[in-house]
């Protein structure tokens, strides 16, 4: 019990020791959480697309068949895209490649960068695909083969569009659900 002596309250030493012990335990717990958060916690990778179009054109790009369609109309400062893709991707771990079918038709007014993502991890990324070009094979991103086991995964294409004149990234980009089959 605290005793009042004049204007001061006298607290027994035992209570002060308990308070100091509790304060010390709280500080140690806070320090432990901080050390864990800074050094031991696995953080989720962030999938980034460049703000400006990559300078490198996709090396596996092929010309698409000309359908005779005219360029899509786009307002000043805007763009218009047309997509051609299959929602199935096959990863061959032994070859370090992803087989896909993605095309940027001639009628599109934007260049595109294709990323294949599984469980929030970048598996493969194309170079720049200009209108009228398609890609059927991409090399796996560094370290992707070590992350994947044979089997089926839900994934997505992340499509980032760029103005062909300024190389600036468009305000609207697209995510397309896909199925990724991983094979040895």
Give the strand pairing for 62-63 and 133-139. antiparallel
Give the span between the Cα atoms of 138 and 129, in whole angstroms.
Answer: 12
Give the span between the Cα atoms of 21 and 11, in whole angstroms.
Answer: 16
Could you tell me the pLDDT band of residue 78, with boundaries at 50, 70 and 90? Answer: low
Could you tell me the pLDDT band of residue 45, with boundaries at 50, 70 and 90? Answer: low
Average pLDDT, the chain: 85
Give pLDDT, residue 179. Answer: 97
Nearest alpha-carbon partner for 97 in 41, 67, 59: 59
Contact 114, 166 (CB under 8 A): no
Cα angle, residue 113 at apex, residues 102 and 71 outer, rounded to 5°: 70
Q: Indicate if the pLDDT at residue 3 is higher than 70.
A: no
pTM (predicted TM-score): 0.71
Q: Indicate if the pLDDT at residue 38 is higher than 80.
A: no
In tens, the pLDDT along 12-36 reads 777 778 888 888 888 888 888 888 7
Residue 46 is given by DSSP the state: P
Question: How confident is the model over 68-93, as a mean pLDDT?
Answer: 82
pLDDT > 90: percent of the chain: 47
Q: Indicate if the pLDDT at residue 110 is higher than 80.
A: yes
Q: Indicate if the pLDDT at residue 111 is higher than 60.
A: yes
Question: How confident is the model over 31-43, as a mean pLDDT?
Answer: 75
Q: Indicate if the pLDDT at residue 1 is higher than 60.
A: no
């Amino acid at each position: 019990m605290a005793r009042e002596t004049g204007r001061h309250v006298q607290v027994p030493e035992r209570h002060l020791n308990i308070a100091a012990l509790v304060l010390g335990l709280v500080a140690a717990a806070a320090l432990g959480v901080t050390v864990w958060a800074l050094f031991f916690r696995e953080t989720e990778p962030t999938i980034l697309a460049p703000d400006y179009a990559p300078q490198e054109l996709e090396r596996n790009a092929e010309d698409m068949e000309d359908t005779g369609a005219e360029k899509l109309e786009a307002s000043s400062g805007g763009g218009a895209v047309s997509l051609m893709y299959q929602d199935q991707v096959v990863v061959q771990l032994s070859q370090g490649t992803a087989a896909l079918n993605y095309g940027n038709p001639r009628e599109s007014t934007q260049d595109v960068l294709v990323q294949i993502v599984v469980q929030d991890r970048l598996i493969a990324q194309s170079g720049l695909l200009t209108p009228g070009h398609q890609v059927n094979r991409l090399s796996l991103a560094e370290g992707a083969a070590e992350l994947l086991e044979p089997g089926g995964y839900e994934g997505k294409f992340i499509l980032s569009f760029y103005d062909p004149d300024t190389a600036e990234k468009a305000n609207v980009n697209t995510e397309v659900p896909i199925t990724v089959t991983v094979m040895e």
